[in-house]
Amino acid sequence: EAAICDLKTFTLEGCQIVDPEGGKFDETKHAVVDAEGNKAKEVKIEPTAVKYELFIAGTQVTADNCNNLKDIEGVTVAPDGEFKYDPASNTLHMKDVTVSVKLVVKNAIYNKGVKDLKIVVSGTNRLESNIVVLYAEASIEIKGRGSLTVINNSNANIGIYLANSNTTVTISDISLEVSGKWGISGEPSKTNQALILKNARITASGTEAAIEDFTSFTIDGC
């Protein structure tokens, strides 16, 4: 007659109705109904994947895909490479990875809110996009013994961009080549934005500026 009914309220936390498609709890019918409003005779509920405030080529990183970022469209990983996110340590591991989103309007990497995100680079890696290539709304540290090339293909936007006040971009040990209209840039309307370079080999270029709009700029060992 009905799978779930005769309830005043029905609460889902950490899970969702996956069948019937468009299924929901109807408070007037006191039952789970299908997309047409009929009482559903079969309801399937599954856990909702934990989502992280990190996007790769426009795709959000979740508990389901964090160990298989190589499967995201626009991502290529060499046979011996690695591309995964460890939420316990807020670490994105990149080894011989290319993220190329030249034909769509998406960032190669977008840190929307992972606090103190660490990007550990080994091997040879490349990020390219027509808009901001590596966009950070929270502090990031790019480190490791590998190389990273960051290219804004349209030459009309930023390679590495820090968006918010009281945040830092730290680049340690890696070899970095970054280019765009601005190579590495903060946001001129924000305060307390810092760029810290440690023991790194960096070539930054921009038709407007190579490095600008940071409150402070620190070089250590380079």
Task: Return the amino acid letter for 85.
Answer: Y
**Residues 20, 35: contact at Cβ < 8 Å?**
yes
pLDDT (mean) for 108-131 = 97
Q: Counting Cβ atoms within 10 Å, is residue 13 exposed (0-12), middle (13-18) or buried (19+)?
A: exposed
Res 105: pLDDT: 86
Does 48 have pLDDT greater than 90? Answer: no
**Residues 123, 157: contact at Cβ < 8 Å?**
no
- Using one digit for the tens of pLDDT, what is the confidence trace for 8-33? 999 998 899 999 999 999 999 999 99
Task: Share the mean pLDDT of the chain.
Answer: 96
**Residues 166, 143: contact at Cβ < 8 Å?**
no
| Strand-strand pairing, 124-129 and 91-101 | parallel
- Using one digit for the tens of pLDDT, what is the confidence trace for 94-112? 999 999 998 778 999 999 9
Give the predicted TM-score (pTM) of the model: 0.83
Does 204 have pLDDT greater than 90? Answer: yes
Res 49: pLDDT: 82
Report the C-alpha gap between 41 and 222 in whole angstroms: 67
pLDDT (mean) for 112-122 = 97
25's CB contacts (< 8 A; 6+ apart) are 4, 7, 9, 10, 31, 32, 33
Peptide bond just before 20 cis, omega within 30 deg: yes
- Report the SS3 class of residue 4: coil
Report the C-alpha gap between 170 and 168 in whole angstroms: 6
Res 192: pLDDT: 97
What is the per-residue burial (b if ≥16 Cβ within 10 Å, else e) of 35-71? Answer: eeeebbeebeeeeeeeebebbbbbbebeeebbeebbe
Res 47: pLDDT: 85
